[in-house]
Structures are given as structure tokens and as C-alpha cells.
Structure 1
Amino acid sequence: MNRISPARISRLIGNWRTLDGKVSEQLSLSIGRLITARELPVGGVLPSERALATALAVSRGTVVAAYGSLRDAGVLDSRHGSGHRIVAAAAPSGAAHTRLAGEIRALPQDIDMTSGALQPSPILTEMLTALKGADLASVAAGLGYDASGLPALRWAIARYYADLGLPTHPDNILITSGAQQAVWLLANAMVDASDAVVVEDPVYRGSLEAFRRRNARIIPIAVTDEGLDIGQLEKALKNRPRLLYLFPEAHNPTGRSLSDRSRRELLDLIERYPTFLIEDGAQNELSTIAGRTPRPVAGQVNPDLVATIGTLSKLFWGGLRIGWIRAAPPVVKRLASFKAVNDLGCSMFDQHLAVGLLESIREARVYRHREIAEHLEAAETIIADHAPGHWHWSRPSGGTAMWIHMPGVDAVALCQEAQRHRLFLSAGPGYSARENFGDVIRLPFVRPLQTMQFAIETICSLAGGRSAGQGSSA
């Protein structure tokens, strides 16, 4: 039975309380939109009224009324003992809002802490300021379509990897629209329904959505401060899964990097149980350790059984949608055919910019490291001053967020309550294939000092009344 957890609805529903009308009407409309957008599938069973009320921090009566409206509209079929099953798509009352799971579009007055994106690098803004008409005109050459990517950029990325100690040819590179498209392409090209895909737990939620949309059988492996649960991983690899998807460095969402011992154990297992590895290096350039950009694992495994993901969106700006996949040429060719069907190729303007930006990568690293280190130190100071002593986190070795364990706190309900204070947060279950980490939040630390102060003070205030299993009325 396809049961939909309350944590999943809480993650998908976004800022539903900003709509007009009674709270129950707002809730029924918001759930209806999720069904219309196929984020909640026909045939799925919604949570009990009490469970959803707790997750959304509303009264049980609010959920009862919302389910009643959906039932009256012919969307739900409620039967004793069987729950509330979705039987039809809701008729849209406006444009359906399809979102990547958990991502929230914040209003200007909102404080959005669901993303760890950074402000544009001054290296990018300086390059844009210096552009002249002739520079722009030179971009418009040929037909403008190249599914594999601009040759000059593929050469530049090949040099990037060579500088990291990993010899690479342009034929090993496919340019993508950011790291997210890279994950999507690999999932669609390599995974069929019921294929086993091994992932970390927790893991980047965009990858979970990509694999779920392929109806993959996701096998989570626990993540510790030092690395992976090697026993669980060996058991999973013995069963010959289709893919192994990992962040060896600057893990998303915890920020940890594999210890030397964990890396050796991982490489030993991959050698003993050959499995195609997707190495997500999207955050490798966001190290909190000065001057450290790790060499990819791809240099130490069978080159035919690995694809490495990279991006410039973290180092320079999220609006620069340039990422890539490094893999064996036959894999690159296959992925390029999938990409051609999807978008015919990335923006030539962005790709030309990327070639120039890669020439300034050392300066970009110095700037980002200093920025991240200063923000992290400030955030840790605020948390130490305000947060209860029993909250736990490990200092991230990379990335832009902290993975904070708050024992006794219902993180899903806390995030819903925070929305009423115009603060948007991400709860731990959104990063887990099994919706674990119900007492964890992911907190980006790269926001201005006053914003961090407000966010942390608000979380501390709300967490005092949001212990696990506790509900509230609306």
C-alpha cells in the first residue's frame, strides 16, 4: 500500500498558510494542488487526521474538515480501516505549483533558510561588468545547439580535473544545466523501475526525487561523522545494485567528508563488488578548510564504472547554470542523447562565461573559503550563545549548512510553526529515503549576521514547545 507520510506532505506543501480563506480551506486547496501536480499520486493513502495535524501544527479538526472538502470534491475515498485514498486528480483552480521536493519559494518578506545558496561571487560580477558589445556578439556563432557542450568549456573542465591529479579528455565531459540536471540525466539514463540504487542516509533530497521518479528501489546506508556504515554498504553491494550514489566529500546535507580510513574501505568494497558509482562532487569547491580541493574518487576506481558530477553554480553563483558529468566516453555519448531530447543543450552565453571563470578559479576558491569560514564562525557563536546545550552538530568540512540534532524536538512540526514567523526551514526527514532524522534540521549558515540571529533565536524559542509527538491547535 502506497502510504504517504505526514513528513512528506509537510515538506511538499510549502507556504500554504498564506492563502486566503479558512485554515481548513487553505489546507484542502494546497493538498489538491499537490495531487494535481502529481506530487501526491492517485492511489496513495494520506496520513491519519491526527498524524497530519501534528506534522502541520494545526488542530485535528482542521485536517478533518480539509479531508471532508476533498472527499466532497471526489478526490478522496475515506473508509474505516483503509484510510483516506486519493482516487482522482484535483481540478486545478489556478496554475499548479510543481516544486522540487522541499524547496520553497519565499516571498520578499520571508526569511528562506531552505537553501544554502551563496551570493554571486565578485569575480563573476566583475567579469559581467567588463563585458562589451563585441564580447556578447562573439557568442552568437553557428546554430547555438550542442548537446555535449561548448568544446572550449569541455577542454577547460578537462584541465580543471588534470590540475586535481585526474587526467581527463574533453570526450569525458558532458556539460549540464547545473548539478541537478546531471543527477536527473544519470537517473533517467541508467535506472529502470525496481532497480536497486544505494544512497547515503541522509542524502541530497534532489537525488531522492530523481530516483523516486524512476520508481527505483532505494537502499539507504547510514552516515556517521567519519563516513559510511561499511557493514551496511557491503551487504548492499553484495546484492549487485544498479547504482551507488555518494558524496565522498562535502556531503549534502551533513557537510562531512570521508576519513582516510573510510575512503580506503569504500574503494576496497567497490573493487570487490563492482558497481557503477555516481560521485557527486557538487560541493567539493566549498571546503571549510583553506586551500583544500579534494581529488575525486574517480581516479581510484574502474573508469568505466564511475560518473563524477561537478558544477560552477556553487563557486560563482546559483544563477550560472553550468554543471557537468565526467565519465567514460561511451557513457557521455549516451547521456548526451538523453540531454538532447531534454533541452538540446545549455546556454551558449553561460558556457562562454564559464570558460573565462575557470581561468580565475584559484581566486574564486580563496574568496569562497574566506566567506564560508567567516559565516560558519559567526553562526557557531550565535548557536553557542542561544541554543540548548543538548543540541548536537559536527563542524562541516564543506558545504554551506549545519546538520543540527535536537533531541526531543519534532523537527517537521517545528518547521511548520516557523513558517508562521516568516521563517522557512528544512527538516531532516526530507533528506532520508526512510524519513529518518525527525529531530534534525538543516540550517544554512551563509546568511547575513542579523538574519542568522533572528533564525536561531526563533528556532530556539519554538523548539522549547515542539517536543516529539506534541501537537498544537490552529
Structure 2
Amino acid sequence: MAMTALDASELCRLLGRWTTGRATLTEDLVAALVELIDAGLVPAGALLPPQRGLATALRVSRGTVTAAYEALEARGHLATNRGSGSRVRSARSQLNGRPSGRLFSFTSAPVDIVDLSTGSLPASPVAADVLGRPLAGELTAYLATDGYFPAGLPVLRQAIADQYTRDGLPTRPQQILVTSGAQQATWLAVTSLAGSGDLVLMEEPTYRGALEAIRATDARVEGLPLSGGGLDVGQVRRALNRKPQTLYCQTAIHNPTGRSMTDAARGELAAVVNDAGLVTIEDTCSADLTLSGPAVARTLAGLVDPELLVTIGSASKLFWGGVRIGWIRASEPWIHGLVELRKAVDLASSVVDQLLAVELIGRTDVARAQRRAMLTDALAATEAELTAAFPDWRWHPIDGGSGLWVDTGQDAVALAEHGKRVGVRLAAGPGFSTYAGQRTFLRLPVWHEPTMLRAGLTALIP
């Protein structure tokens, strides 16, 4: 696998709130880097950022970073060669892969942190109601089995297929694979299509979870710009000359921008995909979170040859991330192959979670209405707070989703580092970029209670 070169913004995100106030900045930085290396989140062979760039991103002197690198080398964590930089020594790392830090950072948030780094929503009222009732009756029938259903419980595959059909896309349960969350669905889809050296096309910016999954395959990633709220179809057409293996996109509700592709542009994209025979992974996890118009946003399904389209869905956005259920909709031959791939890493999803998902999906219409009402009110409050705290920040109106893609007009990586020191966690643009760009952008959630949001934004004001 190719060596990983860490961008300064990526390492800043992995470090989290690294200053303690109990030691020197150099000692704190060394301790934080050792923790990442020993945990394998900075893998063997990873090339650390240049000292000057990391110092700028961390808002410390270059001497602090230089001293930290020297201390790490003295302890055997780094190997430094003049002219080629500092790499993590293989003997120090327990894992081999590209670091993410996305969910790692979620789980380590201190209680005094205002976390504005994630758009993940709290449980919907429908989820609270369903999860509050016992499952004993529904579960009894499965207790005599071994509990392993690699493709998913038949009753859940049927429920998901029925919902697609109600939404205007006729679907058979055999076209559904139930996964342990949408991230696993993304990993399965990507891994089945792309390998080392293959070219994968993505939007720029893009969903960072998908970017992590694709990078883990050691595929080459090319980000294509957005235009008018969706993927620039002309750029896709021109990229075909570079022989891409697959396209990953979100034409319904895009994460992180919250915008939708127009129907006309979506039709043009479908025509390009069909003509080129380009297998496409469409992430529709936010499609239920529309703010106006149809309850569920339109997608490529029904426009693209079914043999060329792998659709990813999730119960997390509409109901709750604590119910770890996602799915893939694809042609039956695709599903058969994906089931075999899935069995190599995860025999099956939890029966309990799947039974809960059956109940939840049966109340999709109610949940959609609840999410729309909640997000509409929350968006208005969030925009008012942002305008009051930072009148120079800019963003496009969104069509749906749980976040705003905000142009701060300044170095968002440095702003995120400042946030760590005042108790505010932020998600800077480079984490959503295929090339560590988008450096002035933040992805801000819209659902936080206004008082908490105001406190976090106020703390960021210089």
C-alpha cells in the first residue's frame, strides 16, 4: 500500500483537544502524537506534515513542532531523513491503514465541549416511542435460530423494499442487503468496485465518511466540482477519458452542502453514466431530510441502468444513529456478491436492531414530517445565531440535511484549532475535501439548541 502523507489539517483533526495546560506545549504535543501512533490512527510509514505547516495549523511556534518531532525521533517513534521528512516507524504502529479520526473524535468528547463538528441528529420522536416498547414478542420467533442472517432479516428486507415501492421505485426484497449502518454499506460498495490504483470520481467537497472508505482501498480519488447545487456533469464527462472505475455521488441531499441536484442535471448525469457504463454508488442517506417539496428527494434510481447503480440508505438520519442499520439497494447479482464480501468481515447485523428497524420503517411518513418540522425551525434559529455572531460568514440556502456549509472567509483549520482551546469542536473544510482544500469552510450542524449554539459561537469570537 502507498505511504500515507498527512496534511496538517488532517493531523489537527486527529489530535483533537491536545493541550492540557499542565505541561509545556511541546510535551503536550509529543504525548498526543504518541497516543495517535500507538493507537495506529497515524499508521506505519505515514509522512507527518512539514514542521512549518503544522505549526501554522496548530497556532504554535515552529520551534514547538521541531522539538516535538525531535523528541519523537529520540523515542523511536519517527525516522527523519533530511529532504524527505519525518515518517512513523513501522515498529511503533499497531494498525496499518489510512487514519480517519472522524468517529474517534466523537467518542472522546469531554463533557465541557460544545460539539459543532457533527451533523448527526438526536433520536426522532418516532424512534423514542418505538425504542421505549419491549420487543419480546417479535424476538421470540428468532431465538430458536442461530441469529445470523447475512443478507438481513427477510422481514426487514421486505419492509425496506416496500418503502422504496411506496416512494415510487418498485423494489423486491432480493434487491436489498441490510448492513450494520450506512458506513459499512459504503465500505462494501467501494471495496467491491475499487482497489489499489483504481480511479474513483467523487464530488468536491464530499461526505467525509465515504472519502475515508475509498481511501482505505488505496484507490486514486479525483474530486469534481459542484455547480448549481450538484455535480458538474461536464466535468464527469471529461473525466471519463481517465478511465474511472466508479463514481460516488449524492444527487438527492448532498452532505456537506445540503443542496440538491436539479432534475435536469440529474437526468444529464444519468445519461452520461448509462452511455459510459460507469458503475455509480449513490449515497441517499440524507434523502429523507428535505425541507420543502416531496418528502423524499429524487435520486438516480429509475434513471440509471439498474446494473450500473448501487444505492446506499440508512435508518440513522431519519430515526437515530444508535440503531445501527443501513442498506444497499442494487440488482440481485450485485447483492449476491456483496453478501459474500460482507460475510468475510461481519456475519450479520444485530437481530434486535433489525426488528426495531422494521417498526421504525413502518412509520417513515411520520418520521419524515417530524424531521422536516424540527430541521426547519432549527435552521431558522441557527442562521439567526450565525448572522448575529459572524455577519461576514456566507452560505447558500439549503434544500435539506442537518448542516450548513459555511464560508468563513478565513483559515478554517486555524479557527478549528482556536476552537479546541476555547471548548468548541469544529469540522473544517479540508476533512470533506479530496485534496485537503475547502480551507475557508466549516460544516456546522443546524439542530443544536440556540443557547448552546450561541455559547459556542460566542467563544469563537476573537
The bucket for the TM-score relative to the shorter chain is over 0.9
Distance 1:30 1:167, change over 3 A: same
Q: What's the secondary structure of 1:220's corresponding residue? A: strand
Distance 1:15 1:168, change over 3 A: same
Any gaps of 5 or more consecutive residues in structure 2?
A: none
Residue 14 of structure 2 is aligned to residue 12 of structure 1: yes
User: What is the deviation of 1:264?
Assistant: 2.2
Residue 216 of structure 2 is aligned to residue 213 of structure 1: yes
Question: What does 1:146-295 align with in structure 2 at a 5 Å threshold?
Answer: 146-289=149-292, 291-295=294-298
User: What is the deviation of 1:261?
Assistant: 2.6
Question: What does 1:65-464 align with in structure 2 at a 5 Å threshold?
Answer: 65-90=67-92, 99-100=101-102, 103-104=105-106, 105-131=108-134, 133-289=136-292, 291-389=294-392, 391-407=393-409, 409-459=410-460, 461-462=461-462
In 2, distance between residues paired with 1:2 and 1:350?
A: 36
Moved more, 102-111 or 253-262: 102-111
Contact persistence 2:283–2:312 (CA under 8 A): yes
Which amino acid in structure 1 is aligned with residue 202 of structure 2? V
Deviations 1:153-204 (A, max 9, x none): 1011111111121111111000011111101111222211001100001001
In 1, distance between residues paired with 2:318 and 2:299?
A: 17
Which amino acid in structure 1 is aligned with residue 13 of structure 2? R
Identity %: 38
Contact persistence 2:44–2:92 (CA under 8 A): no
In 1, distance between residues paired with 2:62 and 2:13?
A: 19
User: What is the deviation of 1:375?
Assistant: 0.3
Deviations 1:325-383 (A, max 9, x none): 00011111111112112121001011111111111111111111000000001011112
In 2, distance between residues paired with 1:295 and 1:82?
A: 48
Deviations 1:359-414 (A, max 9, x none): 1111111111000000001011112222133x21012211101000122x111111
Task: Give the TM-score taking structure 1 as reference length.
Answer: 0.91
In 2, distance between residues paired with 1:135 and 1:167?
A: 27
Question: What does 1:37-76 align with in structure 2 at a 5 Å threshold?
Answer: 37-76=39-78
Moved more, 379-388 or 200-209: 379-388
Q: What's the secondary structure of 1:145's corresponding residue? A: coil
Distance 1:18 1:325, change over 3 A: farther
In 2, distance between residues paired with 1:161 and 1:366?
A: 17
Distance 1:81 1:109, change over 3 A: same
User: What is the deviation of 1:91?
Assistant: 7.0
Moved more, 285-294 or 360-369: 285-294
Moved more, 450-459 or 273-282: 450-459
In 1, distance between residues paired with 2:239 and 2:135?
A: 55
Deviations 1:208-258 (A, max 9, x none): 111111100101101134322233211112333111000001101111100
Contact persistence 1:119–1:317 (CA under 8 A): yes
Q: What's the secondary structure of 2:442's corresponding residue? A: strand
In 2, distance between residues paired with 1:149 and 1:339?
A: 11
In 1, distance between residues paired with 2:46 and 2:135?
A: 55
In 2, distance between residues paired with 1:7 and 1:154?
A: 41
In 1, distance between residues paired with 2:411 and 2:41?
A: 24
In 1, distance between residues paired with 2:157 and 2:231?
A: 32
User: What is the deviation of 1:134?
Assistant: 3.7
In 1, distance between residues paired with 2:339 and 2:53?
A: 44
Contact persistence 1:200–1:223 (CA under 8 A): yes
Q: What's the secondary structure of 1:223's corresponding residue? A: strand
Contact persistence 2:139–2:355 (CA under 8 A): no
In 1, distance between residues paired with 2:8 and 2:65?
A: 12
Contact persistence 1:116–1:444 (CA under 8 A): yes
Q: Which residue of 2 is the match for residue 470 of structure 1?
A: none
In 2, distance between residues paired with 1:339 and 1:19?
A: 45
Task: Give the TM-score taking structure 2 as reference length.
Answer: 0.93
In 2, distance between residues paired with 1:124 and 1:214?
A: 34
Q: Which residue of 2 is the match for residue 469 of structure 1?
A: none
Residue 56 of structure 2 is aligned to residue 32 of structure 1: no
Q: What's the secondary structure of 2:311's corresponding residue? A: strand
Q: CA RMSD in A?
A: 2.0
In 1, distance between residues paired with 2:147 and 2:5?
A: 46
Moved more, 274-283 or 122-131: 122-131
In 2, distance between residues paired with 1:130 and 1:78?
A: 58
Deviations 1:281-319 (A, max 9, x none): 010111122543123312111111110001111111110
Contact persistence 1:12–1:101 (CA under 8 A): no
Contact persistence 2:295–2:368 (CA under 8 A): no
In 2, distance between residues paired with 1:284 and 1:134?
A: 32
Distance 1:318 1:2, change over 3 A: closer
In 2, distance between residues paired with 1:42 and 1:119?
A: 36
Distance 1:71 1:289, change over 3 A: same
User: What is the deviation of 1:443?
Assistant: 0.4
Contact persistence 1:238–1:273 (CA under 8 A): no
Any gaps of 5 or more consecutive residues in structure 1?
A: 463-474
In 1, distance between residues paired with 2:243 and 2:178?
A: 29
Report the number of matched residues: 455
